[in-house]
């Protein structure tokens, strides 16, 4: 009886080793999945902040074109024109979130002047010892921000010579904006935030 008991225990030991190895594999696999999910969330945050930063920088550069469009009543043309996407601002914010910009510009499927799409890649690899190929697997994410003109013409004032010297825009809850093309206005950084809304959107 004693010899039989020792034999059973000897046979059970390899099974125990296999079970422990299997459990360890599952633990490391779940850890890898959790790490990949965390890296993906971090990359999405980097993409969101990068897209918003690029859109805000573009909005800040609209002053010259916007002001030039007013005297000639070419505002609609200006709003429909393409602009240079400030991808440097996107990269700066991506770097702050431990990621790098791999694409930056208008959406590829339906290009629109008022949208900026940024794709980023995280700098940290998943690097799981139990999942092959993860040492060079990096989380990627994409975000699109829109620059939206949210105001309407309200009125114009004219000089004695017939030229317009004051443009008044109604911007809903943001209030009323008065712009003098040849006069002194509030800083463009303040005006642009009222005239243009910047927000994240689905592509």
Give the long-range contacts of residues 66-70, CB within 8 A, separation 24 or more: 66/195, 67/179, 67/181, 70/164, 70/167, 70/179, 70/181
Examine residue 184 and state whether it is found in any structural domain, yes or no.
no
158 inside domain: no
Note the pLDDT tens digit of each residue in 90-129: 999 999 989 999 999 987 655 566 889 999 998 887 555 5
Q: How many domains does the chain have?
A: 1
201 occurs within a structural domain: no
Per-position DSSP letters for 131-157, written without gaps between them: STTGGG-EEEEEEEEEEEE--EEEEEE
Residue 170 falls within a domain, yes or no?
no
Enter the DSSP assignment of 35.
H
pLDDT category at 137 given cuts 50, 70, 90 is: confident
* pLDDT, position 183: 72
> Is the pLDDT assigned to residue 172 strictly greater than 90?
no
Q: Is residue 43 part of a domain?
A: yes
30-63 tens-digit pLDDT: 555 565 677 788 889 999 999 999 999 999 988 8
Q: Considering the domain boundaries, does residue 195 fall inside one?
A: no
Specify the pLDDT at position 58: 92
Q: Which residue has the higher pLDDT, 21 or 196?
A: 196
Which residues are paired to 101 by β-bridges? 120
Angle at alpha carbon of residue 139, lines to 137 and 145, rounded to 5°: 150
**Is 15's pLDDT higher than 90?**
no
Could you tell me the pTM of the whole model?
0.74
Containing structural domain, residue 61: 2-148
Residue 198 placed within a domain:
no
Structure tokens at 25: 């594999």
Q: What was the pLDDT predicted at 8?
A: 56
Longest dimension (CA), the chain: 119
Share of the chain above pLDDT 90, in %: 27
Judge whether 64 lies within some domain: yes
Integer Cα distance of 98 and 83 in angstroms:
28
Rounded to an integer, the average pLDDT of 8-27 is 61
Can you give the pLDDT at residue 130? 47
Task: Examine the pLDDT at 199 and tell me if it is beyond 90.
Answer: yes
């Amino acid at each position: 009886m004693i010899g039989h008991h020792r034999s059973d225990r000897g046979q059970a030991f390899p099974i125990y080793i296999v079970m422990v190895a299997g459990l360890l594999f599952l633990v490391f696999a779940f850890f890898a999945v959790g790490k990949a999910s965390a890296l993906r969330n971090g990359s999405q945050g980097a993409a969101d902040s990068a897209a918003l930063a690029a859109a805000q920088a573009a909005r800040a550069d609209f002053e010259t074109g916007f002001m030039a469009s007013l005297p000639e009543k070419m505002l609609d043309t200006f709003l429909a024109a393409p602009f240079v996407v400030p991808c440097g601002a996107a990269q700066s914010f991506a770097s702050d979130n431990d990621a790098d910009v791999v694409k930056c510009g208008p959406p590829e499927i339906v290009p629109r002047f008022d949208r900026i799409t940024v794709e980023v890649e995280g700098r940290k690899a998943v690097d799981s010892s139990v999942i092959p190929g993860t040492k060079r697997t990096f989380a990627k994410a994409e975000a699109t921000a829109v620059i939206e003109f949210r105001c309407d013409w309200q009125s114009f004032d004219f000089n004695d010579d017939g030229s317009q010297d004051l443009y008044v825009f109604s911007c809903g809850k943001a209030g009323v904006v008065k712009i003098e093309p040849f006069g002194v206005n509030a800083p463009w950084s303040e005006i642009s935030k009222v005239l243009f809304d910047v927000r994240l959107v689905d592509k």
